[in-house]
Structure 1
Amino acid sequence: MRHGQTLFNVLHKNQGVCDSPLTKQGIADAKKVHKYFHQNNIKFDYAYTSTQERAVDTLELVTDQPYQRLKGLKEWNFGLLEGENRRLNPPFNPKIGSVGDGYVQYGGDSADVVQDRMVRTLTKIMIQKNHHRVLVVGHGASTYLFLKNWVPLDELLNHIEMRNCAILKFSFDDETKKFTYLKTINVN
């Protein structure tokens, strides 16, 4: 799932490796997800989160179970554009579904590097013993790039909305080591 709304989300600022606190709305939405999981008797074998505060805070509002922080789940590094208004971002290329290497010139990561990291990290989580139902709290851009690896670009761009606190449901095939996107649940 994606973390709750933050101050930088409201201000339309980039927050990749930098961080900003959850807003009152972000906290309320995370509590709605907690209630959704409880009402639907959804329990997890394991829980993981990015090391970044906004994701950790969201996970702690969503569940009280033990969890592990993983650097591999961190958000995209936007380099010198961290904390800057999103209007300064490199142009989005709809043909490739991202800005590609646009942040590299500012000292950030390429889309391919983030996508590879996310796929590797989430696969490593799922191949562990007894990891049948897993909660992972992460970030918008890095999760989008993970989705981009498994979902056709047209479907991703035109049919998947990932708001703050969105729950993205996947299945995982142990034999092929492939994820299948099932649906997005927005409780806010």
Structure 2
Amino acid sequence: MKKTLYLMRHGETEFNKKKRIQGWTDSPLTQNGIDQAKKAKEWFEKNKIQFTHAYCSTSERASDTLELITTLSYKRLKGLKEMNFGKFDGESESLNPPLDQYDTFFSVYGNGETRAQVQQRMNETITNIMRHSDHESVLIVSHGGAIANFYRKWENESPIKKNEPFYNCCILKYIYEDGKFILENVVNENKPAR
């Protein structure tokens, strides 16, 4: 049976605005982040999308975003949290390593997670959610890095490829069938003006 997953990044936070590394440390939504979530809600309504179930990470920025999208009751799960950046959490984004060192940098130098660890827990958590027989149309609000690692897991299965960052309140529409996630659409309604 085909099911639909809407995997969404939370709205802009104070740490996003201040260019701080934000993993397990939380930061409140900015007014812009609230407006982004409301714009995403409008997109769901315009496309007549109704959810049977909703989930988010245990971070308040995710639950606050979800609550602006739907009044449906929801569950918060640790497996949907952002990558743990260890001692780099809350520090300036200027401390981020080059992309070719990103896979293990935070576990080696910061006592955080590897990309592989994030990918595994995101995939296990989301797969367990989608296996429920009554979960036909699911909204999950998570985080940019966590979503990117989930995307990488299923990238080769999907005809649609990411061609820009997953901006705040970006929505990835996946079809889940036969244990596989196929990316059908990426909605970046809140892409910043350049």
User: How far, CA to CA, are the matches of 1:169 and 1:36 in structure 2?
Assistant: 13
Query: Aligned residue for 1:167?
Result: 171
1:119-158 map, 5 Å: 119-152=123-156
Q: Which residue of the other structure, out of 52, 55, 80, is the alignment partner of 1:45?
A: 52
Q: Secondary structure at the match of 1:137?
A: strand
- The Cα offsets for residues 86-105 of structure 1, whole Å up to 9 and x where unpaired, read as 11122211xxxx71111012
User: How far, CA to CA, are the matches of 2:41 and 2:89 in structure 1?
Assistant: 30
User: How far, CA to CA, are the matches of 2:47 and 2:153 in structure 1?
Assistant: 29
Q: Secondary structure at the match of 1:30?
A: helix
TM-superposed CA distance for 1:187, in Å, is 2.1
Q: Give the conservation status (yes or no) of the 8 Å contact 1:160–1:184.
A: no
Please list every run of at least 4 consecutive aligned residues from structure 1 whose deviation after the TM superposition is greater than 2 angstroms: none
Query: Aligned residue for 2:34?
Result: 27
Task: Give structure 2 stretches of 5+ with no counterpart.
Answer: 1-7
Q: Give the conservation status (yes or no) of the 8 Å contact 1:7–1:21.
A: yes
Task: Give structure 1 stretches of 5+ with no counterpart.
Answer: none
User: How far, CA to CA, are the matches of 2:165 and 2:21 in structure 1?
Assistant: 19
Higher relative contact order (CA 8 A, sep 6+): 2
Task: Output the aligned Cα RMSD.
Answer: 1.4
In the alignment, does 2:17 pair up with 1:15?
A: no
User: How far, CA to CA, are the matches of 1:187 and 1:119 in structure 2?
Assistant: 25
Q: Give the conservation status (yes or no) of the 8 Å contact 1:80–1:107.
A: yes
Larger mean Cα displacement after TM superposition, 108-117 or 83-92:
83-92
Query: Aligned residue for 1:77?
Result: 84
User: How far, CA to CA, are the matches of 1:87 and 1:39 in structure 2?
Assistant: 39
User: How far, CA to CA, are the matches of 1:100 and 1:65 in structure 2?
Assistant: 36
In the alignment, does 2:75 pair up with 1:68?
A: yes
- The Cα offsets for residues 153-179 of structure 1, whole Å up to 9 and x where unpaired, read as xx75x6143110001000011x2x110
User: How far, CA to CA, are the matches of 1:7 and 1:113 in structure 2?
Assistant: 27
Aligned length: 179
Q: Which residue of the other structure, out of 172, 181, 184, is the alignment partner of 2:183?
A: 181
Q: Secondary structure at the match of 1:151?
A: helix
Identity between Structure 1 and Structure 2 (%): 44
Q: Give the conservation status (yes or no) of the 8 Å contact 1:172–1:179.
A: yes
User: How far, CA to CA, are the matches of 1:38 and 1:109 in structure 2?
Assistant: 36
Query: Aligned residue for 1:112?
Result: 116
User: How far, CA to CA, are the matches of 2:39 and 2:128 in structure 1?
Assistant: 29
